[in-house]
Chains A and B, each alone.
Chain A
Amino acid sequence: KQEVTQIPAALSVPEGENLVLNCSFTDSAIYNLQWFRQDPGKGLTSLLLIQSSQREQTSGRLNASLDKSSGRSTLYIAASQPGDSATYLCAVMAVSGSARQLTFGSGTQLTVLP
């Protein structure tokens, strides 16, 4: 059974700092990995999708890497801003089964202080 762990559970940083969020998964047989952002009480916004054959993806100040063999992914946020405050969720997509269901971590709650 796939398990996804995100460390740390919460993080507070001053504005302008670069930061790294970590995600690990137990079964390396994944189809892809997705990073999401969730604002309090809201739905999920997809930030980056990395296919299993890729090593990283970039979008603006965000960079996500994937090391499938070691079961790890990182989300790097450059020059953090107060508007980046949210919960960040990592999810892996199963290879087996037709549903391609996502297994999520519990998230990292990020607070960027002005």
Chain B
Amino acid sequence: DAGVTQSPTHLIKTRGQQVTLRCSPKSGHDTVSWYQQALGQGPQFIFQYYEEEERQRGNFPDRFSGHQFPNYSSELNVNALLLGDSALYLCASRLWASSGYEQYFGPGTRLTVT
């Protein structure tokens, strides 16, 4: 049973650049959420995708955007990178109609902005 996978593992970008992170959900899951975790902090909700639509967004600027594909995989795009965007980006998946709503997390992508 394939768990949640993310790529790349690590990424170094320069201020002002753009970055794309990728996530494949756990087998059978149709809903993908993205979280940002700054060093020493808990993860913060960025947004969630279901049926290729953004369902809910956290308190993040429009520089953060996403996409979900028909196979349920998802991308997170960040434009005009700032030093403060350096963080671990986590993807979580679940089944939209599940009764328990348990979410499963991937290993994350470590983004460093210099």
**A-side interface residues toward B, CB under 8 Å?**
4, 31-32, 34, 36, 41-46, 49, 51, 89, 91, 93, 97-107
Given contacts A98-B55, A101-B33, contact A44 B43 (CB under 8 A): yes
| CB of B108 within 8 Å of the partner chain | yes
Q: Which of A31, A89, A98 lies in contact with B42, CB distance below 8 A? A: A89
Contacting residues of chain B (40-57) with chain A, CB-CB under 8 angstroms: 40-45, 48, 50, 55-56
CA distance A103 to B103 in the complex (A): 12
Please, what's the 1-or-0 string for B65-103, where 1 marks a CB less than 8 Å from any CB in chain A? Answer: 000000000000000000000001010101000001111
20 CB < 8 A contacts A-B: A31-B101, A32-B102, A34-B102, A42-B107, A42-B108, A43-B90, A43-B107, A44-B90, A89-B43, A98-B55, A99-B48, A99-B55, A100-B103, A101-B33, A101-B45, A101-B48, A101-B56, A102-B43, A104-B44, A106-B41
**With contact pairs A43-B106, A89-B42, A98-B56 given, residues A51 and B100 touching in the complex (Cβ less than 8 Å):** yes
Which range contains the number of B residues in contact with the other chain?
A: 20 to 34
With a cutoff of 8 Å between Cβ atoms, the chain A residues found around residue B43 in the complex are 44, 89, 91, 102, 104
Chain A residues with CB under 8 Å of B48's CB are: 99, 101
CB distance from A47 to the nearest CB of B (A): 12
Interface residues of B (CB under 8 A from A): 4, 6, 33, 35, 40-45, 48, 50, 55-56, 58, 88, 90, 92, 94, 100-108, 110
The answer to whether B56 touches A106, judged by C-beta atoms less than 8 angstroms apart, is: no
Contacting residues, chain A, for B4 (C-beta < 8 A): 43
CB-CB under 8 A from B102, the residues of chain A are 32, 34, 46, 49
In the complex, the chain B residue whose C-beta lies closest to that of A31 is: B101
- Chain B's closest residue to A109 (CB) is B40
Report Cα–Cα, A91/B56, bound state, in Å.
18
B110: chain A residues within 8 A (beta carbon)? 41
* B45 surroundings in chain A (CB, below 8 A): 99, 101-103
